[in-house]
Amino acid sequence: MRLLDAVGASARVRCGANADGVRGLMATTDIARGERVMAVAVPERALVDDPSESKTWSRQLARRVVETRRRYGSETPGDGAMEDDARDIFMQAYAKTLPPFGAPAIGLANDPKCVEIIAARLDDDECRREATTFAEQIETSFQKEKALDDALSEDEWRWAVSLVHSRTFRIENERDARPPRRAMVPAADLINHTSAPNEVNADWSLEDGEFTVRTTRDVKEGEELLFSYGDQSDRHFALFYGFIPRRNDFNRVKLFENGRVALDWYQALCGVAPDDEVWHREKERVVKLVCEKYGTYAKDPQTGLRRRIVQDLVLGDNGFVSDSMLLLFEEMCGDEEMAIAAVRERAKEMYTNMVAATEEIDAALAPLDEYSRELIQTYRRRRVGILAQVV
């Protein structure tokens, strides 16, 4: 592949399909830890945003993806249709590695039909909120870009945005001399993700203006190179990457939207009247205490105001319970065992409701294509599995 030749990678890796049939980069020889696999000049050979307009980085990159497809996507590298300089040949080779325009947009959040069903029927507030918010952002950005480019179609824009959100790297400047930049890096974006830390064998850094990929441990011939795209939940990968990792050590189920919702639920569980003033004062004390230790500033969905709230009230694999969740209930009931019992009761409630809703939700998913339907069903099964571990 000319692209791998151009970034100095062809002696070490090749493009091929992994055990799941997904395209990735495979080692063609043993690669020692710390050895350089490839180096891509930034910005000469990458699609890069303007960091001074940080709020529009996804629009900037999507626009560049559209331009790349139109300019290079239909030509064969080096056939004389372009100017035949090094960048033209390189970008033509890169365009050939992108999913073709006309293929489904990557990720559930990029499919209007999926978003409509998720918003109406899925029993996951976070997933519904993220999907609908992203769908609104796509529609808004498309209208703005359409005003600048009358030839732009919604399908073309949605395709470009889906590539941006599944292939972009955030490049930090180690000396803080300039703001972070976002870049789509040819060849490097062929490296797949794993959520299992022990499977990661490659990482990247900016070295003298080059996006450089190096191995983080010895890699055997035939082994696939794997990055970590971040410590994200299944929801993030399903919505924006169009897959769910086989194993995800960072998967979580949110038990409550925030601390006040959690303690209102606990008050009802204890059979205390909603207007009990003693409970009200105690709940406010506990929420304040937990916020001071674990809270972050964010928009409160109930009031719309930016305030300090507890966001990580979650349950994870192997019975993991966030410290903020335990402290909230421990402070309220004064006993660790009762706090754990409350977490189990909440998990049981959510588990029972999800299992009961499965048949109805599966029926609602029927209009979707098989891949999207299975992705959502797998996402729900993994959530049910986490809850089942403590029920």
Same domain, 169 and 300: no
- Per-residue pLDDT at 178: 64
246 domain residue, yes or no? no
State phi, psi for 95 to the nearest 5 degrees.
-60, -30
Same domain, 147 and 168: yes
| CA pseudo-torsion sign 118, 119, 120, 122 | positive
141 domain residue, yes or no? yes
Reported in sequence order, the residue ranges of the chain that DSSP labels E, i.e. its strands, are 13-17, 23-27, 36-41, 47-48, 168-171, 181-184, 192-193, 202-207, 210-215, 226-227, 252-254, 296-299, 306-309, 314-316
Do residues 91 and 7 touch, judged by C-beta distance below 8 A?
Answer: no
Q: Which residue has the tokens 């980085």?
A: 57
The count of C-alpha atoms lying within 13 angstroms of the C-alpha of 209, restricted to the half-sphere facing its C-beta, is: 5
> How far out from the chain centre does Cα 163 lie?
12
Cα angle value 229/232/236 (rounded, 5°): 95
Burial (CB count within 10 angstroms: exposed 0-12, middle 13-18, buried 19+), residue 33: exposed
Of 240, 263, 291, which marks where a domain is finished? 240
Distance (Å, rounded) from C-alpha 387 to C-alpha 29? 43
- Per-residue pLDDT at 302: 62
Same domain, 259 and 228: no
- Per-residue pLDDT at 81: 45
Same domain, 120 and 10: yes
Distance (Å, rounded) from C-alpha 228 to C-alpha 16? 19
pLDDT by residue for the chain (391 residues), tens only, comes to 689 999 999 999 999 999 888 999 999 999 999 999 999 999 899 999 988 776 789 999 999 999 999 999 865 544 444 455 888 889 999 999 999 888 888 999 999 999 999 999 999 999 999 999 999 999 999 999 999 999 999 999 999 999 999 999 998 765 555 677 899 999 999 999 999 999 999 999 988 889 999 999 999 999 999 999 988 999 999 999 999 999 998 999 999 999 999 999 999 999 999 999 999 999 999 999 999 899 887 776 666 777 777 778 999 988 999 999 999 999 999 999 999 999 999 999 999 999 999 999 999 999 999 999 999 999 999 999 999 999 8
Question: Which residues span the domain enclosing 320?
Answer: 252-388
Pairing of strands 23-27, 13-17: antiparallel
145 domain residue, yes or no? yes
CATH of the domain at 194: 3.90.1410.10
180-209 as b/e, with b when 16 or more CB fall inside 10 Å?
ebbbbbbbbbbbbbbbeeeebbbebebeee
Same domain, 271 and 228: no
Of 206, 240, 274, which marks where a domain is finished? 240
247 domain residue, yes or no? no
376 domain residue, yes or no? yes
Number of domains present in the structure of the chain: 2
115 domain residue, yes or no? yes
- Per-residue pLDDT at 298: 72
Same domain, 264 and 171: no
Same domain, 119 and 141: yes
- Per-residue pLDDT at 215: 97
Same domain, 93 and 236: yes
DSSP reduced 3-state for 316: strand
The DSSP string of 65-98 is HHHHHHHHTTS-TTSSSS---HHHHHHHHHHHHS
245 domain residue, yes or no? no
DSSP reduced 3-state for 371: helix
Same domain, 88 and 152: yes
290 domain residue, yes or no? yes
Of 218, 240, 262, which marks where a domain is finished? 240
Same domain, 104 and 176: yes
Same domain, 231 and 284: no
Distance (Å, rounded) from C-alpha 328 to C-alpha 309? 12
Same domain, 228 and 341: no
- Per-residue pLDDT at 180: 78
Nearest to 171 by CA among 156, 179, 181: 181
